Structure 1
Amino acid sequence: MDPQIHTHESTPASRPLASMTAETLLTRDFDSRPALVYERLRGKYGAVAPVDLLGVPVWLVLGYAEVLEVLRNDRGIWSKNPDDWPAFGKGEVPADWPLRPTYASRGVSYSEGREHAEFREMWSAALRPFQDRSQPQARLLEEEVRRYADELLSLLAESGQSGWADLSAQYVRPLMLMVCNRLIGFGVGTEEALMDMWRVTDAGPDAPEATARLAAMLTEVIVAKRQQPGDDLTSAMLAARADLPVEQLAAEIGMLLGVVGDLTGSLICNTIVEVIVGNTAARASLAGGMVRETVNRAAMANPANNNLTLRFATADTVLGGTVIMAGDPVMLSVAAAHADPRFAQALDPSSVHSSRAHLAWGAGPHQCPGDELATTLVTIAVERLFERMAGLELALPADQLPWRASPIMRGLRALPVRFRLREFPPQAPVPATGDEPRAEAEGPAAGTVSRSTLSRLVRALLRQRS
């Protein structure tokens, strides 16, 4: 059914959200085939559907134009501040709601107005050295990530030039752990922090405990960096906002861990899958050496951040023909928006260059401040992998891949493949240009990871693989 024919002038969608029978969102079908769930909801309700999100009713926005309208917020009626969600403030959201810890902090993700602008300024200042490629720190970071990737791929060759591997456990996760360690400066505990971030975004029953552990670990890092700053993002954030309480800064760095360690890692896996299973546009761009475009194509076809965190209407409004009452929560479905026929049918699938109109990093005032850094990390990881591979295929049928059960993240628990490696000569050291920052002789920000450290990490991840 074409969603454009839905007017909703006399449908139940014009009733208050609390009085509606919400559709259960998180089902087995959603875990394995979310696209079918989105299309069923679109056929029944149109661009906006009432859904039950782990016991809390929310509006799920499925239309591309409607998602973009909320993200841009040109009329100023969509807020990410939980203070604009009366049910949350009145205690009507259950205390044990798995996603509740996500909304307990403010920061750049859950603030508006001047407060939000100040957080954005902090993030822009702290991120610029690492994601602006004109900066020496950004160039050095890229070289370090390439080296990490090459060393991890060389570990695969230790058992032969061909074989079986779980690319999630043996390549993507350890690579992102190394990047998180380099940027945040954990020293120890990076793996545990990332696992807890997974538990938070998967919204399982252990999410509150994981949130507390994560906050404690990040607090330790911040205290250490205040005493001895380094060439890392945590130190840069402290320099940008020395007045920020430790607890708030820990929440901000936790968001970075989610973007780099979880969202970016998931997009790497999703991009690999899109190429292997035969996404024509993704393969064409990769074959043409346009790896960044390959990433854009994968983000369009299978975004890792499939549903964004909640927004709240600050006034009664109409969205996609549906009446949204003031205080109602809405969740924006990036994956459903990309599949909206009104948007998808206008794309040219034969074009090597996409419109780059994907919403994987959001849009508008709350667009991810680290989108450039994250895209660069995904591009490097994908580029190094496919440069090294002479053959790569899934070890399971595509419809049997083990996806995580998460309302926010579309990520794999494992990516089993059969591979064949090319001969790969050792990389020559990158000549110094004289303007790179000096790496610390010791510590997590040094940017050097020994083969033994990588080997231990990969083997530990393999033991924990589920």
Structure 2
Amino acid sequence: MTTYPTTQQTFSRSAPVRLWEDGFALDPYRYYADLRAQGPVGWAELAPGVPAYVVTDRRAALDLLHDTETFSHDPRPWEATVADDSPVLGMMRWRPNTLFADGTAHVRYRTALLDAFDRVEPHDLRSRVHRAVRLLVGRIGPRGKADLVVDFARPLMALVFNDLFGLPDSASDRLNSALGKMMEGGAEAAEGEAEFGGYVLELIAAKAERRGEDLPSWLLDHPAGLTPEEVTWQVFLTLGAGHEPTANLVSNALSRILGNPSYYSTLTSGARPVMDAVVEVLHHETPLANYGIHYARTPVTFHGAWIRAAVPVVISYGALAHAAEQDHGARRHPGDASHLSWSAGPHACPVKQHTLLIATEAIERLTQWLPDLDPVLPRERLTWRPGPFHRSLTGLPVRFSPRSPDLPGGPS
């Protein structure tokens, strides 16, 4: 059993930091400061009556992410203690996929996913993104105004991921709606989970009947021999994890770019790469702010906190980013990958290069088509969606010179 620092820490007199409150979406950094004041591991609630330990220290986070002996990803012991209508169950409920598996099962699922995504060539993925951007610019371009969350980032991900998973563009709105409800963890979370589950079940049934050149078909035919049920749950995970955080990454990056006119001008002129803005978001406003959930196999002292079994131990990537900004300032080299937005250890994001390509190509292509995007609101007046897990804008209204992608002079 691994031993950890034992600086005294107690939660007995600490009220849990309530990450489900509306105020958390408004100002998460105040909540992160309260968590950090408790030590490397804070005490919080993910929903009313759903407590969790929250890791806010980088060293503690890395220890947690690499210690498969002490900690498990299997939530079933915790799940047995939670009400059936808990709004966070949609994001935390056990399913037979790589996220909630340990040991050989995890390796089997992860290998199948890696092999399937390796078949998506970068040039092919780039062309899918370009097609989706052109389609969306065709809808919003002539209007001269748009909401870059509602009209661009979220529908773009639905178009790209539906394409990768072998579904038509017409199914995009349904995917968007279901994932939005589930991610927020509010009153509609169970409805969103059911809608998304039905969406994936229909997809796998169609692919089991007739294969295509798409991710579900490749998973069904993988040498690991995944059953249709197992493929269903890998798709449930990857379709959700691909769509929602990547949409937030794009919209958060666009809000930072447009909120700084000098920054925006260097990007549109080509003097500065879009990747700089994307990396800034991963450092300071990571789209999946609190996740990487583990459970102690037995009670253990971890970085001074007594961790009970069957209680979630959440990594706050948002708090880690805030701590780094407080300690080291906002200026970083663009290649600095010291953030943990991709997680680490055996469960690190298996497709981060695909995600980065989608986000950077989407932003580059949009700003080439519509080079004079002008935010309607200053950045400090933008609002954020509620929920303990994500950092997600509700909207990003902009104005621009009307144009159609059919006009000459656009991207080639």
TM-score (normalizing by structure 2):
0.88
Find the aligned partners of 1:386 and 1:339 in 2 and give their Cα distance: 29
Q: CA distance change for structure 1 residues 248 and 283 in 2, over 3 Å: closer, same or farther?
A: farther
Equivalent in 291, 304, 312 of residue 295 of structure 2: 312
Q: Who is 1:76 aligned against? A: 69
The answer as to whether partners of 2:377 and 2:397 remain within 8 angstroms in 1 is yes
Q: Percent identity?
A: 25
Equivalent in 264, 269, 287 of residue 246 of structure 2: 264
Cα shift at 1:154: 4.2
Q: CA distance change for structure 1 residues 209 and 27 in 2, over 3 Å: closer, same or farther?
A: closer
Find the aligned partners of 1:419 and 1:36 in 2 and give their Cα distance: 35
Letter in 2 for 1:99: V
Cα offsets for 1:254-275 (capped at 9, x unmatched): 2222122211011100000111
Cα offsets for 1:350-392 (capped at 9, x unmatched): x543411222221111112222111110010111122234333
Find the aligned partners of 1:97 and 1:156 in 2 and give their Cα distance: 38
Cα offsets for 1:208-230 (capped at 9, x unmatched): 23222222221221121122211
Matched, 1:92 2:90: no
Cα shift at 1:395: 1.2
Find the aligned partners of 1:93 and 1:143 in 2 and give their Cα distance: 44
Matched, 1:149 2:133: yes
Cα offsets for 1:270-311 (capped at 9, x unmatched): 000111223998987785342223211111111110111421
Greater mean deviation of Cα atoms: 304-313 or 418-427: 418-427
Letter in 1 for 2:178: D
Matched, 1:326 2:324: no
Q: Who is 1:387 aligned against? A: 368
Find the aligned partners of 1:399 and 1:151 in 2 and give their Cα distance: 30
Equivalent in 204, 229, 246 of residue 222 of structure 1: 204
Q: CA distance change for structure 1 residues 284 and 209 in 2, over 3 Å: closer, same or farther?
A: same
Q: CA distance change for structure 1 residues 237 and 282 in 2, over 3 Å: closer, same or farther?
A: farther
Report matched runs for 1:176-191 at 5 Å: 176-187=157-168, 188-191=170-173
Partner SS, residue 350 of structure 2? coil
Report matched runs for 1:347-358 at 5 Å: 349=331, 351-358=332-339
Cα shift at 1:141: 2.5
TM-score (normalizing by structure 1):
0.79
Q: Who is 2:46 aligned against? A: 53
Q: CA distance change for structure 1 residues 193 and 400 in 2, over 3 Å: closer, same or farther?
A: same
Letter in 1 for 2:228: V
Partner SS, residue 332 of structure 1? strand
Larger radius of gyration: 1
Q: CA distance change for structure 1 residues 411 and 8 in 2, over 3 Å: closer, same or farther?
A: same
Equivalent in 14, 27, 32 of residue 38 of structure 1: 32
Q: CA distance change for structure 1 residues 322 and 144 in 2, over 3 Å: closer, same or farther?
A: same
Find the aligned partners of 1:414 and 1:330 in 2 and give their Cα distance: 31
Q: CA distance change for structure 1 residues 242 and 219 in 2, over 3 Å: closer, same or farther?
A: farther
Cα offsets for 1:114-144 (capped at 9, x unmatched): 00000011101111011xxxx4xx3122123
Letter in 2 for 1:60: V
Cα shift at 1:241: 5.8
Find the aligned partners of 2:319 and 2:102 in 1 and give their Cα distance: 26
Greater mean deviation of Cα atoms: 332-341 or 138-147: 138-147
Length, aligned pairs only: 401
Q: Who is 1:455 aligned against? A: none
Equivalent in 273, 278, 298 of residue 295 of structure 1: 278
Report matched runs for 1:416-435 at 5 Å: 416-420=397-401, 425-426=409-410
The answer as to whether partners of 1:215 and 1:247 remain within 8 angstroms in 2 is no
Find the aligned partners of 1:363 and 1:117 in 2 and give their Cα distance: 15
Equivalent in 110, 117, 123 of residue 139 of structure 1: 123
The answer as to whether partners of 1:282 and 1:293 remain within 8 angstroms in 2 is no
Matched, 1:111 2:93: no
Matched, 1:366 2:347: yes
Find the aligned partners of 1:360 and 1:190 in 2 and give their Cα distance: 26
Cα shift at 1:81: 0.9
Cα RMSD (Å) of the superposition?
2.7
Partner SS, residue 211 of structure 2? coil
Structure 1 unaligned residues grouped into runs of 5+: 1-5, 429-466
Cα shift at 1:411: 1.0
Matched, 1:247 2:229: yes
Q: CA distance change for structure 1 residues 79 and 242 in 2, over 3 Å: closer, same or farther?
A: closer
Equivalent in 125, 129, 136 of residue 115 of structure 2: 125
Find the aligned partners of 2:135 and 2:191 in 1 and give their Cα distance: 34
The answer as to whether partners of 2:74 and 2:94 remain within 8 angstroms in 1 is no
Q: Who is 1:436 aligned against? A: none
Cα shift at 1:242: 7.3
Find the aligned partners of 1:169 and 1:313 in 2 and give their Cα distance: 39
The answer as to whether partners of 1:71 and 1:364 remain within 8 angstroms in 2 is yes
Greater mean deviation of Cα atoms: 139-148 or 328-337: 139-148
Q: CA distance change for structure 1 residues 42 and 242 in 2, over 3 Å: closer, same or farther?
A: closer
Cα offsets for 1:379-408 (capped at 9, x unmatched): 101111222343333212322212111111
